[in-house]
Amino acid sequence: MRVETRRTLRRLLRNPSAVLGFSLLIFFTLVAIFAPLICPPQSYDPYMIPIVTWDKTPQPPSEGHPFGIIDGRDIFYGVVWGTRTAFKVGLTVTLTSTLVGLVIGSIAGYFGGWIDEVLMRITDVFLSIPYILAAIVMTAFLGMGLDKVMISLIIFGWMATARLIRANILQAREEQYVLAAKALGVSDFWVITKHILPNTIFPVLIQATMRIGSLVITAAALSFLGLGAPVGYADWGALLNFARNWLLGASGEALKYWYAIVYPGTAMVLFVLAWNLVGDALRDAFDPRLRG
């Protein structure tokens, strides 16, 4: 086991994409952890971006505000604390929706029959609804707020996991170790949790890792549309929402307010890129078909 672990780590370290992905992920993790030191909170809620001027016109980067000011709020503060928001949304939604998908997919794949048919038809109904449209409608119904966004993304984000784990369990349930456990009288719950899931869950974990970035993008899109984080909340999508009235700049000055878009947009792109590269690297390292 130790030899195999060393080989896996060696493959990861030799993969430039993996090194870049893990480096970016470590960087964002450090920013999130040390956000109170980088940008000390200035109100009772550290996630509310402080108002530094009542002038709504964007102001370029300066010594006190290295990323500039948008809508009277410090962009640097929003980007730094927005990293925590991104982790909160991505990890919470991914873990919860993955757990829901695992439960539904495991039950459907293990028991089969009419249970499988009913659960998969319900899954197909949810899959037939456009994801972003469903999230917009559900968020508008529940009301504005980041917690409402996360609930919406969870409700419409479990289906891919359910289908994937079901397909894996359909293959694994006929294996000799599963049949032996059943013959010994082991309960269905323990057969699934102790014997089947440990041997079928890894593709689900890879999928979940790669979904985190897309979920952050979706949540940011809802905030950009005014359905997500409240006004002034440290969220990259909310920062871009402030900047949308200044996207084109004044006549003949199309790039005058570039900083209002570039900094939060770059943070979002790099965050998503980090998770995608990490997911690709883990898949390449652990997939036996790709091992050299």
pLDDT in tens, 108-149: 999 988 999 999 999 999 999 888 888 888 888 888 788 888
The 8-class DSSP code of residue 193 comes to I
CATH number of this structure's domain 17-56+63-290, picked from the four choices 2.40.110.20, 3.30.70.141, 1.10.3110.10, 1.10.3720.10 = 1.10.3720.10
Kindly tell me the sign of the dihedral angle through the C-alpha atoms of 23, 28, 32, 36: positive
Cα separation, 57 vs 72, whole angstroms: 7
Q: How confident is the model at residue 1 (pLDDT cuts 50, 70, 90)?
A: very low
Alpha-carbon gap, residue 11 to 5, rounded angstroms: 10
Percent of the chain with pLDDT over 70: 92
Give the 3-state secondary structure of 160-180: HHHHHHHHHHHHHCCCHHHHH
Dist. CA 264–CA 243, nearest whole Å: 10
d(CA 104, CA 100): 6
- Give tens-digit pLDDT for 205-246: 888 998 998 899 988 888 888 888 888 899 999 898 888 877
Within the chain, strands assigned E span 69-70, 73-74
Q: From CA 205, how far away is CA 282, in angstroms rounded? A: 10
33-49: per-residue pLDDT in tens? 999 999 999 878 899 99
Contact 196, 172 (CB under 8 A): yes
51 forms beta bridges with 73
Angstrom CA distances, 52 to 3, 59, 157, 233, 234, stand at 56, 11, 38, 14, 14
